[in-house]
Amino acid sequence: MIDRDLESIQEARDLVGRAYEAYQAFSRASQAQVDNIVEAAARAAEKASEPLARAAVEETGMGRYEDKIAKNLFAAVDVKNYILPLKTCGVIREVPEARIKELAVPMGVVVALTPTTNPTSTAIYKALIAVKSRNAIVISPHPRATKCVVSAMETMQQAARDAGAPEDLMLAMRIPTLDGTQELMRHHHTAVILATGGTAMVRAAYSSGKPAYGVGPGNVPAIIERTADVPKAVADVVAGKNFDYGLLCSAENSLICDRPVVEEVRRELKRQRAEFVPPADRDRLRLAMQDPRTGGLNADIVGLPATEVAQRAGISVPADTRVLVLECATVGRSEFFSREKLSPVLAFYVEDGWEKCCERSIELLEFGGLGHTLVIHSNDEHVIQRFFEEKPAFRILVNTVAAVGAVGITTGLAPAMTLGPGTWAGSSTSDNITPLHLINIKRLAYETKPYRAIDAPDEGRVAAAVGVGAPVPDEEVDAIRRAVEEFLAERRARKAR
């Protein structure tokens, strides 16, 4: 029997080799050719958004079918509409006053790791931004989401090929194992890695020896400050927590409520069909959600609806419950519900004043979402500005649904499924990743400041080596020469003594 890991390693080598040949053939494509291929691939993904969503839910057992359609359409339509106008071929910028031209150069083979939580939408997005920048791409899907990712890539590759793309521009592994994925990342033809997923996978990408863009957990705090439009704020938080059953890393994970509006927030949560879990049922829910071996999250409850999570914990809730809410007072390992939960389960904190809300949000981010995203619901511009300036997150969202606002659906942020958390979280960028992150820039620079070498003293003048300043007068040169000669004579005399 053939070892599966060896099969995976061999597949990784074969796929990167094929992708590298495709990249070489594609690297000199014109902007018009690239855009035509991107348009064709995106159109095919758009048409397949519904069957791909169904396939993702059936294969992974995670998430809400209707929301996965929305995510696929976001990747195929919104991302495409944003990236198509970008110039990624030829001279992309000229600076006449500096006599500089900038030329876009593709990186090569992009290796992309996609998560089980958002498999097809992430594959569509990463394939489009890679091809837009004239790269080839090979995806290593999560083992529990292999078939749907392969289907997405084959759908786009067929359309791209019909539009003139090389045969192997967009590929996906069919036998993804840890060893195979590591071979993929470390292959000598791999140029850059796009890693979306768990902390261990992102760390593996950064330790591969290749340039990498990675994003891990979000653990997003949502603050409802006393000046907020409470009904809208609560509706936004519940919508974000329930979207695809909490699978986006940008989903709200904790609600921090300013004390003066706490009763109104509680009423609105109830109206939005968010159910507070009684203290007596708290441990039952924790045991159902916690992995007994690691103390982390039990993968079996990830992406399930709130009613099913409650059922697995033996908790009775109304049949129309959208979100389970747990009242919390601390953050850290001793409070299980203060972590990222990847399900429609929301921690609920009450603090008095925006400063205390701020402190709690920092605790939550430092515990598991540093650099990622924070959302504040407020109508006080001073408070909003303070959060913008001081909180350790690179996406400070205001009065919107964090889950979809961070990726650019309800905000003007660059539409993306990979959201860099910056150096605070060990990432090389704090940006939403676009095709411009997948090109090298070559610069042509003409001389603008002529170089002038220092003339020999006996020629009578000294010029500035960098080409600025007037020649030194002959009398000054003579004075410098005499001073040097006097100094050397004195030193020789001291040695003689």
Beta strand spans in 179-336 (E): 190-196, 212-215, 220-224, 252-258, 274-276, 323-327
CB of 257 closer than 8 Å to CB of 350: yes
- For residues 348 and 338, give the distance between their C-alpha atoms in angstroms, rounded to a whole number: 9
- Which residues, including other chains, have CB under 8 Å from residue 487's CB and lie 6 or more apart? none
CA Rg, the chain, in Å? 29
* 417: nearest Cα among 36, 45, 76: 76
Q: What is the largest distance, in Å, between two alpha-carbon atoms of the chain?
A: 105
The DSSP secondary-structure symbol of 264 reads: H
* Residue 315 amino acid letter: I
The DSSP secondary-structure symbol of 89 reads: S
Strand ranges of the sheet holding 252-258, from the earlier edge strand across to the other edge:
274-276, 323-327, 345-351, 252-258, 220-224, 371-377, 393-398
Reduced to 3 states (helix: H, G, I; strand: E, B; else coil), residue 46 is helix
Kindly compute the dihedral angle of the four CA atoms of residues 443, 215, 396, 232, in this order, to the nearest 10 degrees.
130
Catalytic residue among 249, 328, 357, 358: 249
CB of 173 closer than 8 Å to CB of 111: no
- For residues 65 and 73, give the distance between their C-alpha atoms in angstroms, rounded to a whole number: 13
**Cα–chain-centroid distance for residue 33?**
28
Strand ranges of the sheet holding 190-196, from the earlier edge strand across to the other edge:
170-172, 136-141, 109-114, 190-196, 212-215
Is 249 catalytic? The answer is: yes
What tokens were used for 174? 């069919």
Catalytic residues: 249
